[in-house]
Amino acid sequence: MGRLFGTDGVRGLANGRLTAELALDLAVCAARVLGSQGRAAGHGRRPFAVVGRDPRASGEFLEAAVVAGLAGAGVDVYRAGVLPTPAVAHLTGLLGADLGVMLSASHNAMPDNGVKFFARGGHKLPDEVENNIEALLGTEWDRPTGASVGRVQDHPEGHARYVDHLLATLPHRLDGLKVVLDCANGASSRVAPDALRQAGAEVVTIHAEPNGLNINEGCGSTHLDDVKAAVVEHGADAGIAHDGDADRCLAVDANGDEVDGDQILAVLALAMRDAGTLREDTLVATVMSNLGLKLAMQSAGIKIVETAVGDRYVLEAMQAGGLTLGGEQSGHVVMLDHATTGDGTLTALHLLSRVAQTGRPLHELAAVMTRLPQVLINVSGVDRTRVQASAGLAAAVAEAEARLGGGGRVLLRPSGTEPLVRVMVEAQTHEQAEREAGTLADVVRAELAV
């Protein structure tokens, strides 16, 4: 099966790759690794965990398996129920838990599910800790008995505690704003409407009736058509779309036009700079962020630190530099002063707060950056390992960059798992981007043929 852990926990087809047995075993091994760290820290109590899930049907049996594994390994469990991933991370830190567990496959279709772990403080696990957990699978261990087994209790207060936390971060109330909120029939279906209404907004909810089977189905941050139409229909000031576990946020302006993660980052970076909370006047973004973001931030005197694609790499760079804002074009936005991971509802609140505070419509705020046309071509069936070594490919990239000048860029990204190379070109016009990307894709096929 290869390494179980991917970029965000263990994910796969529920009851296919991800079985109840595997979920139970992962929970036991996580308890052995993370629970022992808590004991070593001398907390004078039994280790305990916070467990949450999104509303997928498979989350019911997987939650039961994870809770059984943790309790069987001597860990007390607070079962938080259906909550967003960032809520579980927050509660893990707030309650002083030794670990947190979230059952979700994020934006994936309903048949999939996943198990992701948080360490003390609500932080995602580094690779070496995930490797330690995976290495224990199938090994012998001393099982607690009698009074040493873990105890399980529900924690319904998690919802209110998380909403209170979100509202406490708000720089300006949302009174007077009308917002359409697409909850993707996912984990934010109760939390996000509550938070926005308590912040003062008039909220129209769509896709906020999860039944276990309809999560992400033609809705949410990966399918914006419904929220775009609803914003125009209701005459709303903005629309917000989350994914299944609500760690992402994309927006729609009053005209029904998308405001992507790069534009949200630009708006928030300027707001935080003005408030004096953008540490080092620096934003963290990935290499896939639109060049328009970089140009806009340069114009505003804000530096950008670039990372590999993936919110975990954004987070690592933020922590290493003591920085406060970072994210991805997909809508993962990390605000480290308030959260340990990407938080879609937090992002929405702060974006809308900027609209209310300035009195400027979202489309005007988002216009601080111009999105350059971006074309991405996946070239499959090639030897991805030879990208850096190919002199012919390097020459073709240099020629394309010379033709684009300072108004565009080229990025070649070998896949980490497939025989595939991604060719991305940004240019002043879509036609130019298409032309350069097509030319480079042909060179990739010729130079890296298997």
Catalogue the active-site residues: 106
CA–CA separation, 336 and 280 (whole Å): 14
Is 161:83 a contact under the CB 8 Å cutoff?
Answer: no
CA-closest candidate to residue 54, choices 206, 245, 192:
245
Q: For residue 361, what are the contacts with CB-CB under 8 A and spacing of at least 6?
A: 237, 253, 254, 355
Is 391:255 a contact under the CB 8 Å cutoff?
Answer: no
CA–CA separation, 24 and 70 (whole Å): 8
> Which residue shows structure tokens 């607070």?
78
Is 207:229 a contact under the CB 8 Å cutoff?
Answer: no
Query: Which tokens hold the place of 261?
Result: 């993660």
Q: Give the DSSP letter of residue 6.
A: B
> Which residue shows structure tokens 């912040």?
199
Query: Which tokens hold the place of 371?
Result: 């999105």
Reported as half-sphere exposure (CB side, CA atoms, 13 A), residue 341 has a value of: 28
DSSP bridge partners of 325:
335
Q: Which helix (H) or strand (E) holds 52?
A: strand 48-53
Query: Which tokens hold the place of 43?
Result: 């907390």
Task: Decide: helix, strand or coil at residue 439.
Answer: helix
> Which residue shows structure tokens 């005007």?
364
> For the packed helices 344-358 and 261-275, what is the interaxial angle rounded to 10 degrees?
60
Q: Give the DSSP letter of residue 448.
A: T
Is 154:184 a contact under the CB 8 Å cutoff?
Answer: no
Reported as half-sphere exposure (CB side, CA atoms, 13 A), residue 22 has a value of: 20
Residue 101, burial from CB neighbour count under 10 angstroms (0-12, 13-18, 19+)? buried
